[in-house]
Structure 1
Amino acid sequence: MALIRSHTADKFIVDRRKPHRNSDVARAVRKTRDRLSQQPGNLAFDRELLKLHARAMVSSATAIPLLVLVIAAAGLLAGMEGSILIWALITVTCYAGLTLVAQRIDRTEAAEVNIARARTSFFVAHFVSGLGWAYFASLQCTECQVEQFPVIKAVVLLLAMAATALIASSLRGALVITFALPVAIYTVIGVSAWTTVETVMVGLLVLALPFFSHVAEHLNRSSLMLLSFRSEKDGLIAELETAKSMSDEARRRAEEANLAKSRFLASMSHELRTPLNAILGFSEVMGNEVLGPMSNGTYRDYANDIHESGQHLLDLINEILDLSRIEAGRYQLNEEPANLLQIVEECCHLMELKARHKDIRIVQQFESVLPRLFADERAVRQITLNLLSNAVKFTSTGGEILVRVGWTAGGGQYISIKDNGPGIPEEEIPVVLSAFGQGSIAIKSAEQGTGLGLPIVQGLLAMHGGEFELHSKMREGTEAIAIFPPARVMEELPAVPTAKAAATGTRHR
């Protein structure tokens, strides 16, 4: 048993087998893939790394000079006067030059950065800054009272190496270029002294340089990952902006097309109904021989045919306008208490004559009492007539249509119309539920419809907050169920007893 439950009508059947591509989206996707596939060696990627290193040096421009000033102050307290001040001046000056190089590159646009020149400038500036630490490694403190001065120098160099490894990790080789000479000088001095403490410190410094280089390498990989994530974010933002602009343009065109459609239907409905009124009126006058009998009976039959065809065309125009208003959200419900049993019973009487012509029996199974629905009576009547008309149309001669009205399990009310016609193939159910859609049985039938009945039923039920179900099986028949939600069911007010009402009225006199 095939089951379809739908809240809104599937408006159109669209062939989506053809691939639709857009050049802007394709370019955005390719650009994103190029960014994600960037590796060191790519010009744009290397420029970003240099810019990242420049920003890091500028933002931490005061860190190393502050360390130098603290060390110089401690040296003055220890008794070092001229040599420590000269070292501090040289080191701060060297780092000032490094900061100036970083600021110049940071202010340059990424596309205008010369990679080779910028990298060379950074390496030279880092080497020059290392000269200050080389001078520090060569300092002696014979006049001061510090016994383990070589150990203090090694600790200071270790602190400077650690700080540089953190700050300059975006540029590979910066740490080695800065501290290779200071470590070499300290090693020469320590080995020549040949004391146990200085030998240990020499070994510690020699091992610390590759260790901090390894740490800087890991930080460099983190920088690469940061750039990759940023590239991915930029690419996705670009793609989203492109898709958003396309969506906005498509929505604008759809709104313009919908407005044009509404204007066309409004105009054509007036233009078509005006001549149709004359056609229907005059053909009815001719068919009923109001102005006198016709001598030729064939002309009378022609007049009746004209009237029936005009009425069919008028019904088609009304259905198209109803569906158009439902789709546009302009169908206004005139909601009031409505008796579902009475409406369905009247619709069955209206279809009785058409069913009798095909020798079809309409069987009614109604609940004995149902409270009123808060609904649009005209819409409910149209739902019932559309479903009954389909059942009569596709039920073979001598068949039977079962019409039921009652309660749903959730407390709502439903209309069920079941026929024993040929049924609908399962794969064709979405087609018959679409606007202007018709199944193979309807196409072969002599009574072809417009394919608007079920979409209108779905739309009207959706406006009431209800649901539409279609059950069908080949050679067994079809059952259409219109369900109204419990919120639409009105509570019955208790009746006031007659005696009590009379007594109440007497008291109020």
Structure 2
Amino acid sequence: MALLDATSADKNIVDRRKLPRNKDLSKLMRGARDRLMERSGINHFERELLFMHTRALIVNAATIPLLIVMIAVIGVFAGLGKSIVLWAGFTIGLYGVLGLLARRLAKRGIGNEYIRQWQMIYLGGHFMTSIGWAYFAYLDCPACGAGLFPVIKAVVIILAMAITAVVASAMRAAVLAAFTLPVITYTLLASNHMDTPLMAVMVAMLFAGLAFFYLVATRLNRSVAVTLALQAEKDALIAELETANAMSDEGRRRAEEANLAKSRFLASMSHELRTPLNAILGFSEVMAKEVLGPIQNGTYREYASDIHASGEHLLNLINEILDLSRIEAGRYTIKEEPLLLAEIANECIHMMNLKARNKDITLIPQFETGMLLLNADERSIRQILLNLMANAVKFTPPNGKIYVKVGWTVGGGQYISVRDNGPGIPPEEIPIVLSAFGQGSIAIKNAEQGTGLGLPIVQALVHIHDGEFHLFSKLREGTEALATFPRSRVIQATPASPKKPVQQKAA
């Protein structure tokens, strides 16, 4: 079974994989919403509700007085005379006192220790207005008819209840404070006429209206409390988010400073590290090859060879660290020039052939025809290919195959693909092997020598060329390393459409 066929490779080249949803974040947000909904009906915001009640009284200060004026005008034309005018002036004065209390509180503010005191003051103010409505319930209009005027009074009181329930919803007890006395007064006056069904109905309507509008005020009060709870929770979440962002920014700034200091240190130590290593490599090679004369003790010759091999390994490690440090510090410069990816890939295959044959591994080139020049840095492209091929040779078992592909992406760019049939990489370890000094469990288990810098360097070099690097792997099937370069880097000598990739040869 082939590892990855050509069509799937091209699909991976063109398609952009969606980022996985963060399940932990989704769970956290659902929990936050549930927690907010559980706050319904809980009133921990007396101070805010008190100020909302104050603002409502100030904004709607003229609502009920206008109703009173309209009733007074109608009453004068109906024949009530001075009594309705006196009631209107008296009741408007009571509402004026309540409005002055609200303005005073809005002007001076209030501390938490005076919340209960001001709630009682407001309830006292609403009780004062109840005296005016009780006065209205006491009025009589002989000219209006014995059965009509009580009905009008009951309707007016119910209308005033409705307005008060909406305006004073932040303090639900205001409805009871303002209209319990008028309802009782109306009931006492109507007790002499309870033998008529109409009066009994009016009294029942007043009590039902008082209970209903108190319930309405309660519902509105709870809705306001829930809104305040949601707002408070949102403000707390925003504050926590801002704090976390500030801490994150500070941590990122310190990490960037530390990383820059590290990169500068390694870059400045390039000469100091390489100079003694070159001397060690030179002298150990002279000793191992017995250039200045034979060494009688064979053990010494083996030691000299070990010193030379270890020195080369250390020099390669230093070079990789310095390359990665220069890239991270933004000091890695590239020399862009027109080049053919297939030619560089072919040269790299010849360079790796000896190492591959020693493990009985076959390198199979698959280059598309008609490739155009790519504007890139030759040394970087060569380093990308050699690192990817060296990794493939390292992990591919004997008698394995490595496919080196160069071709077009559907978007008009070009790509390099190195695919092996080695042991593969577990999906959860792909981010590890792409990080600096990261090694997978298979590499550790097999004791493969390496620094864990090859793939991070490849990824960084591809990003410098505005490209993308992806690693696809399946356990016991193999791994494919894919580097794509954008269409903007292709030198369009003549208009060309992307060609279909060469089909994979049968193994």
Determine if the TM-score, normalized by the shorter chain, exceeds 0.5.
yes
SS in 2 for 1:416: strand
Cα 1:84–1:404 change in 2 (3 A) is closer
Number of the residue aligned with 1:270: 268
Number of the residue aligned with 1:320: 321
RMSD: 4.1
Number of the residue aligned with 1:203: 201
1:275-424 equivalent positions in 2, closer than 5 A: 275-281=273-279, 283-284=281-282, 287-288=285-286, 293-296=292-295, 305-326=306-327, 331-358=332-359, 360-396=361-397, 400-408=401-409, 411-424=412-425
Cα 1:479–1:151 change in 2 (3 A) is closer
CA contact (8 A) 1:78 1:146 kept: no
CA contact (8 A) 1:269 1:317 kept: no
Counterpart code for 2:292: P
Query: Matched residues in 2 for 1:158 and 1:361: separation?
Result: 96
Does residue 167 (structure 1) correspond to residue 152 (structure 2)? The answer is: no
CA contact (8 A) 1:48 1:110 kept: no
Cα offset, 1:151, TM superposition? 4.7
**Residue range with higher mean Cα deviation, 278-287 or 383-392:** 278-287
1:435-474 equivalent positions in 2, closer than 5 A: 435-445=436-446, 447-463=448-464, 464-474=466-476
Number of the residue aligned with 2:53: 53
**Residue range with higher mean Cα deviation, 286-295 or 347-356:** 286-295
Cα offset, 1:6, TM superposition? 11
CA contact (8 A) 2:91 2:132 kept: yes
Percent sequence identity is: 43
Query: Matched residues in 2 for 1:70 and 1:246: separation?
Result: 58
Cα offset, 1:193, TM superposition? 6.3
Number of the residue aligned with 1:482: 483
Cα 1:352–1:281 change in 2 (3 A) is farther
Cα offset, 1:225, TM superposition? 1.7
Cα 1:313–1:225 change in 2 (3 A) is same
Counterpart code for 1:67: L
**Residue range with higher mean Cα deviation, 257-266 or 325-334:** 325-334
SS in 2 for 1:113: helix
Counterpart code for 2:440: G
Cα offset, 1:358, TM superposition? 4.5
Number of the residue aligned with 1:129: 129
Cα 1:76–1:145 change in 2 (3 A) is farther
**Residue range with higher mean Cα deviation, 260-269 or 169-178:** 169-178
TM-score (normalizing by structure 1) = 0.76
Counterpart code for 1:98: L
Query: Matched residues in 2 for 1:307 and 1:207: separation?
Result: 106
SS in 2 for 1:109: coil
Cα offset, 1:214, TM superposition? 0.9
Q: Deviations over 1:380-433 (max 9, x none)?
A: 111100011112323455655443333445554333334454554566545433
1:36-115 equivalent positions in 2, closer than 5 A: 37=39, 39=41, 44-78=44-78, 80-104=80-104, 107-109=108-110, 111-115=112-116
CA contact (8 A) 1:414 1:481 kept: yes
Does residue 258 (structure 1) correspond to residue 268 (structure 2)? The answer is: no
Cα 1:452–1:461 change in 2 (3 A) is same
Query: Matched residues in 2 for 1:129 and 1:378: separation?
Result: 91
Cα offset, 1:326, TM superposition? 4.5
Cα offset, 1:345, TM superposition? 1.5
TM-score (normalizing by structure 2) = 0.77
Cα 1:55–1:355 change in 2 (3 A) is same
CA contact (8 A) 2:75 2:81 kept: yes
Query: Matched residues in 2 for 1:394 and 1:315: separation?
Result: 19
Number of the residue aligned with 1:247: 245
**Residue range with higher mean Cα deviation, 465-474 or 322-331:** 322-331
CA contact (8 A) 1:72 1:88 kept: yes
Cα 1:416–1:120 change in 2 (3 A) is closer
SS in 2 for 1:170: coil
Number of the residue aligned with 2:501: none
Select 2:212's aligned residue among 197, 211, 214: 214
Cα offset, 1:371, TM superposition? 1.3
Cα 1:398–1:293 change in 2 (3 A) is farther
Cα 1:109–1:234 change in 2 (3 A) is same
CA contact (8 A) 2:340 2:373 kept: yes
Cα offset, 1:355, TM superposition? 3.5
Number of the residue aligned with 2:499: none
Cα offset, 1:60, TM superposition? 2.0
Cα 1:194–1:486 change in 2 (3 A) is closer
Query: Matched residues in 1 for 2:475 and 2:144: separation?
Result: 106
Number of the residue aligned with 1:432: 433
Cα offset, 1:102, TM superposition? 3.8
Cα offset, 1:436, TM superposition? 1.9
CA contact (8 A) 1:287 1:304 kept: yes
CA contact (8 A) 2:47 2:112 kept: yes
Q: How many equivalent pairs are there? A: 468
Q: Deviations over 1:173-222 (max 9, x none)?
A: 433443333334344445546896xx626632541342243134123212
Query: Matched residues in 1 for 2:400 and 2:73: separation?
Result: 110
Cα 1:227–1:147 change in 2 (3 A) is closer
Cα 1:65–1:422 change in 2 (3 A) is closer
CA contact (8 A) 1:395 1:420 kept: yes
Q: Deviations over 1:466-503 (max 9, x none)?
A: 342434442x6544343334444332349xxxxxxxxx
